[in-house]
Amino acid sequence: MFRTILVPASGSDTDAVVFETALAAARPQRAHIEFFHVCVSAGEALRYTPHASFARGDLLHNVLQELKQESEHRLDAAQRHVRDFCKRHKIAMLDAPRRFPALSASWRTEEASGEDPFITRARVHDLVVMGRFTRPNGLPPNLLQLLLVECGRPIMIAAPRSPRAFHTVMVAWKDTREAARAVTAAMPLLSDAKRVVVAAVEEREPCANTAAIVAGQLAWHGIRAHAQSVKADGRPVATALATAADACDANLLVMGSYSTGPLRQEIFGGCTRSMLNEAAIPVFLVH
């Protein structure tokens, strides 16, 4: 089960949909949500601010002052977003677990830089829920990708709109270790879903049989699932999956992520990259 969920609070407009996505995962599990915000110094934020490296003298001083003010504004906004969200959904703020599990939340801040504090916190949680990078915020623009590779935990990526619950879950099945890990990690969500579809994309040859095997094995866990073969017909796999997910009204996609190159470079294949950047529904990924 997911007992603890890490949710980075950025202080931006994307907090709302990220928080709602986390709630959809946390509520059935009666999980604890840790809202986490990293306060980045102006000097560190300068590294990820476009064109700021060219600033000198008074201009550099002004840029640093602006970055400091932006960091303070993000912290204030993140705290307000968390406070208002918990109040609206009647979520208790707790620093320690109760005897009987119940939906709860906590707030944590840290003064640090880069991806390391996020990786450290993510490794001690059952699940991470976060949004996509939309604008400079003093953190590495590829933070999501770095977390996915290095934290060792499943990550759920929020979409532009968040469902109230994950009633229909599509599993993007491929006969690989990454897909197998994703199915295992997503078991709590699959168990809570009303409908589970195991979809395998036919790129060169029929593959419905392996999807049917997965669906049959899920029955041993009390999960009613059915297999679906999706023909690529020359389309990218990500496009075929997105179309299939839309057709069955899925509100969560479970899949493994696949590497194509060295760590910290262009590491993801086209399908994973597309889902990271463009998926219209939340995506549950395991590397």
> DSSP of 213-249, one letter per residue?
HHHHHHHTTT--EEEEEEE-TTS-HHHHHHHHHHHTT
Has residue 204 been placed in a domain? Answer: yes
Residue-level pLDDT at 263: 46
Has residue 264 been placed in a domain? Answer: yes
Range from 40-49, 78-87, 198-207 carrying the lowest mean pLDDT:
40-49
Q: Are residues 21 and 108 in the same domain?
A: yes
Q: Which domain holds residue 85?
A: 4-157
Q: Exposed/middle/buried for 12, CB within 10 Å: 0-12, 13-18, 19+? A: middle
Position with higher pLDDT, 21 vs 264:
21
pTM for the predicted model, two decimal places = 0.90
Domain with residue 150: its CATH number is: 3.40.50.620
Q: Are residues 50 and 127 in the same domain?
A: yes
Q: Are residues 100 and 9 in the same domain?
A: yes
Mean pLDDT of 196-216: 82
What confidence category does residue 269 fall into, taking pLDDT thresholds of 50, 70 and 90? Answer: low
Q: Are residues 91 and 215 in the same domain?
A: no
Q: Are residues 153 and 179 in the same domain?
A: no
In contact, 42 and 71? CB cutoff 8 Å: yes
127, 124, 147, 275: which is closest to 189 by C-alpha? 127
Domain boundary among 135, 157, 179: 157
CA 219 to chain centre: 27
Has residue 163 been placed in a domain? Answer: no
Residue 87 has pLDDT above 60, yes or no: yes
Q: Are residues 152 and 172 in the same domain?
A: no
